[in-house]
Amino acid sequence: MGKDVIVACDFASGAETLAFLDRFGDERPFVKIGMELYYAEGPDIVRILKERGHRIFLDLKLHDIPNTVQKAMRVLSRLDVDMTNVHAAGTRAMMEAALDGLTRPDGTRPLLIAVTQLTSTGEEAMRGELLIDRPLPEVVAAYAKNARDAGLDGVVCSPLEAGTIHEVCGAEFFTVTPGVRFADAAKDDQTRIATPERAKSLGSDFIVVGRPITQAADPAAAYRRCVTEFVD
């Protein structure tokens, strides 16, 4: 699978998103639609961006009982997104149900990936609140393995975890990694970060980049810089 840069469209409205994407001219980057934009605009924003020719990662992180997730995924499968996701904490049974729901009658389906542990969850919260006593990297690797065993295509993780996940789950199981920053830029609230170039050398398959592109004076130029460093 080819490496690619996914632009996180973390905007509160469709109008803002379209104005932002207009700045890319004829270029049609792979985009991520998260909860904020999806809950504001509903499925129409997916249809509009699809019509414009974008590939879409619908980042809704489903986590519920298997039957509910299966039915929700069946609805999402009709939206023709390219990638979507669930929480691995929902168990293998839930991930299998998600995969089943996402598979269209003709056998095609979007890529399905899992969130292992959110990068906002530290080891302290994991131990004290979730009562998980193992070291974080071990938990991330085990959840990734559950996702692979359930038939999923990959996981969302830090670029710094991409190598371990490929070792545990195989080179074909792909890693989608946020937490990307240019060497000369602000970290914002991200902690475990890597430059696009380093993410590439660590084995990330897709990088998800938000503020370094959305807040740039020239978003298209920032996007191309990511592509040059990560893909070319």
Phi (first) and psi of residue 61, to 5 degrees: 45, 65
Whole-number minimum distance, CB 121 to ligand C5P, in Å? 9
Chosen residue from 17, 84, 85, 119 binding ligand C5P by CB under 6 A: 119
Binding to ligand C5P by residue 34, rule CB under 6 A? yes
Annotated catalytic residue within 3, 61, 145, 200: 61
Q: Figure out which of the listed residues 8, 62, 81, 94 binds ligand C5P, where binding follows CB under 6 A.
A: 8
**CA dihedral angle for residue 222, residue 226, residue 228, residue 229, rounded to 10 degrees:** 130
Question: Residues 145, 148, 200, 211: which binds ligand C5P (CB under 6 A)?
Answer: 211
CA distances from 205 to 57, 110, 157, 159, 175 (A): 14, 16, 11, 9, 5
Give residue number: closest CB to ligand C5P.
210
The contacts of residue 63 (CB under 8 Å, 6+ apart) are 69, 86, 87, 89, 90, 94
Q: Are strands 83-87 and 111-115 parallel, antiparallel or unpaired?
A: parallel
- Is 210 one of the binding residues for ligand C5P (CB under 6 A)? yes
Q: Which position among 83, 208, 222, 226 is part of the footprint of ligand C5P (CB under 6 A)?
A: 208
Residue 43 Cα distances to 1, 11, 72, 78, 231, angstroms: 27, 15, 13, 10, 30
Question: Does 138 interact with ligand C5P (rule: CB under 6 A)?
Answer: no
Q: How far apart are CA 229 and CA 49, in angstroms?
A: 26
Burial of residue 5 (CB within 10 Å: 0-12, 13-18, 19+) is: buried
Q: Which of 118, 125, 183, 231 binds ligand C5P (CB under 6 A)?
A: 118
Q: Is 203 a binder of ligand C5P (CB under 6 A)?
A: no
50 is catalytic: no
Regarding 190 and contact with ligand C5P (CB under 6 A), the answer is: yes
Task: By CB under 6 A, tell whether 154 contacts ligand C5P.
Answer: no
Task: In angstroms, give the least distance from the CB of 207 to ligand C5P.
Answer: 9
The answer to whether 159 contacts ligand C5P (rule: CB under 6 A) is: no
Question: Judging by DSSP bridges, how do beta strands 56-62 and 206-209 pair with one another?
Answer: unpaired
Check residue 114 for interaction with ligand C5P (CB under 6 A): no
Positions annotated as catalytic residues are 61
- Which stretches of the chain bind ligand C5P, using CB under 6 A? 8, 10, 34, 118-119, 156, 178-179, 188, 190, 208-212
